[in-house]
Structure 1
Amino acid sequence: MKSDGLLIVGEDLCEKLVGRQQAFDAVQAVFGAMAKGGAWNFPVIREALGHADVLYGFKSGFDRDGQVLGLKSGGYWPGNAAKGLTNHQSTVFLFDPDTGRLSALVGGNYLTAVRTAASSAVSIAHLARQDARVLGMVGAGHQSTFQLRAAAEQRDFEKVIAWNPHPDMLPRLAAVATEVGLEFEAVSQQELGAQADVIITITSAFEPLLMKDWIKPGTHLACMGTDTKGKQEVDADLVAAATVFTDEVAQSVTIGEAQHAINLGALTEDAIAPIGAVINGDHPGRTSDDQITLFDGTGVGLQDLAVASVAARLAEEADLAQRATL
């Protein structure tokens, strides 16, 4: 980046400049770099504030291969929806890795949604059966529409089926399914497991919403909501029965979906593979049509930095970003 001031890239600009393909490419590349040891995340800080039921924290890291250094600060404000705001609020800070100077402030709300969707899409691209036709969605909150759009581009899906604890929220998914040309049906959790070839869970649950016996052989699951100690979206027995992949193993076993199977002794850390190893060709990924694969998408700081750096670069190239001096 140029050295003449701090770039400020707002939410509207991020949405204008960073689409699904740019996010997919950036996330896939940084997962590959992580698996090779060319990029790494720093320990996550995530705390309950004791105010407004907020979970707040920091995710940070350094991509040496891509020369991206920074952090995302933000969290989850569950009361924001009633105020007309997104529950997830965050900002990305990018620093010049050569000098340590702050180089860009980038809005993180849209980018968090698009990078999370890109992560599950990357997992579908590399792990789902090629003949997958039914996409299952568990969750219908803000991020679910991003997930659906990104997933729909990875296989020749014919139908979307969905369940949400609050059924009145499902019409937003139905509208997106229609928009991308897919049939839509609201179903029970058991029926979703029986029909779906690919399942995305994107909730803030603290209890299993899908059980092992409901899932058919050959299913690929992308569990995207569990990113904190105690959270859980699927049965620990299901995780233990699946071939598990993740964005980062250290987070998977401590704050991800795998934490519960690990704590029960039903899964070992060395049984979990980084998705980057599949991307790099160092792991075969899915090895049979009957295999259940599961991607534990815990969300890593490097994902945020990757898409934020794309937004900053594109904004600078188009001379659209604001500039400031600290």
Structure 2
Amino acid sequence: MSHSNQNNSKGITVVSEAVCQQVMGRADAFTAVENVFSAMARDTAYNFPVIREAIGHADALYGFKSGFDRVGMVLGLKSGGYWPGNIDKGLTNHQSTVILFDPDTGKLNALVGGNYLTAIRTAASSAVSIAHLARQDANVLGMVGAGHQSTFQLRAAVEQRNFKKVVAWNKEPEKLTNLAVICEELGLPFESVSREALCAQADVIITITSAFEALIDQSWIKPGTHIACMGTDTKGKQEVDAHLLARARVFTDELTQSTTIGEAQHAIAEELINEADIIPIGDVINGTKAGRTSDDEITLFDGTGVGLQDLAVASVAAELAEAKGQASYFNL
């Protein structure tokens, strides 16, 4: 995965947002993320502690996610955050850049646009959870949230199972057009429904909001459902009833983040579950722990988003951009 030494003669690699979108597809992102979860579970890759702060300006949350993959030889960080006012300025709310370093020397290797990559790596993460945990016969997909990331989530999810229909809910119903347009393009029936109706119908549910309250009641979830909670990545955020985690088998990208800033933070705080109840998805990918064990089981994936996902997709994007002659270069 590393491209640490091949471009030193040309200088530091730069991969713009536009180039990332041209060279990096959903299949590449899925493989990169699945490999990283596998490496994390084998302890050959690890994330450093996350720094995430409200900066006291523009209601922004800003921070750093970083880590090192010893096998992939990828070292670096993603810096950026969430600016809620950006949508009114014609920008995406999420803004970030990935910076890659040479693990052998510490020299700056690459600067890679992080906005599109964050969206596809987050979508790849829930897609990996669907691939490994959802029932094979799952045929209704439920989407909770219709912001910028939701469209990426939808496109990645529908590639994992033979869905016959998509049902969706959003606090501002007019934004559901974002998802309806994609379903029309894919030839999938689409329906705007209440949260309760969504849970009654859906076999797979993706929550992708910035909520600070439970949007889904545990009593609404039917047996056999797989839920991917993808929005909670900060202390205080919450998308589902904490009691749902006590009912479900819970999986995550990273235990530390799950229990402190992820969806599991509330169930842990209320002592409804403990850390030992949460299974890293990498263990399922590696075959060291079971995924879904019955058609009636409720499975829940707490996708907190880890720095290694960003580094993995950025490293692949840099490689692809270099190979296709679409990278730029500069020297410090």
Q: Does 1:194 align with 2:194?
A: no
Distance 2:209 2:258 in 1: 16
Distance 2:185 2:133 in 1: 25
Matching residue within 66, 75, 78 for 1:69? 75
Q: Does 1:242 align with 2:248?
A: yes
Q: Does 1:141 align with 2:153?
A: no
- Tell me which residue corresponds to 1:3: 8
Distance 2:289 2:183 in 1: 33
Matches within 5 A, 1:216-227: 216-227=222-233
Q: Which amino acid in the other structure matches residue 230 of structure 2?
A: M
State the Cα distance separating 1:136 from its structure 2 match: 0.1
Distance 1:293 1:115 in 2: 21
User: Under a length normalisation based on structure 1, what TM-score does the superposition of the two structures give?
Assistant: 0.99
Once the two structures are superposed, what CA deviation does each residue of 1:181-232 show, in whole Å capped at 9, x if it has no partner?
A: 2110000000001000000000000000001000000000000000000000
Q: Does 1:12 align with 2:18?
A: yes
State the Cα distance separating 1:320 from its structure 2 match: 1.3
Q: Does 1:126 align with 2:166?
A: no
Once the two structures are superposed, what CA deviation does each residue of 1:40-74 show, in whole Å capped at 9, x if it has no partner?
A: 00000000001010000000000001000000000
User: Under a length normalisation based on structure 2, what TM-score does the superposition of the two structures give?
Assistant: 0.98
Once the two structures are superposed, what CA deviation does each residue of 1:76-102 show, in whole Å capped at 9, x if it has no partner?
A: 000000000000000000000000001
State the Cα distance separating 1:172 from its structure 2 match: 1.0
Identity %: 72
SS at match of 2:196: helix
State the Cα distance separating 1:156 from its structure 2 match: 0.4
Matches within 5 A, 1:1-326: 1=3, 2-4=7-9, 5-326=11-332
State the Cα distance separating 1:319 from its structure 2 match: 1.8
State the Cα distance separating 1:284 from its structure 2 match: 1.1
SS at match of 2:71: coil
Q: Which amino acid in the other structure matches residue 218 of structure 1?
A: G
State the Cα distance separating 1:317 from its structure 2 match: 1.1
In structure 1, stretches of 5+ residues that fail to align are: none
Runs of 4+ in 1 over 6 A off after TM superposition: none
SS at match of 1:229: coil
Q: Over the residues paired in the alignment, what is the CA RMSD in angstroms?
A: 0.5
Q: Which amino acid in the other structure matches residue 237 of structure 1?
A: H
SS at match of 1:157: coil
Distance 2:84 2:278 in 1: 31
Distance 1:242 1:53 in 2: 34
State the Cα distance separating 1:180 from its structure 2 match: 1.6
Distance 1:100 1:262 in 2: 38
Name the count of aligned residue pairs: 326
Q: Which amino acid in the other structure matches residue 77 of structure 1?
A: W
Once the two structures are superposed, what CA deviation does each residue of 1:289-315 show, in whole Å capped at 9, x if it has no partner?
A: 010000000000000000000000011
SS at match of 2:200: helix
Distance 1:142 1:268 in 2: 33
In structure 2, stretches of 5+ residues that fail to align are: none
Distance 2:184 2:247 in 1: 34
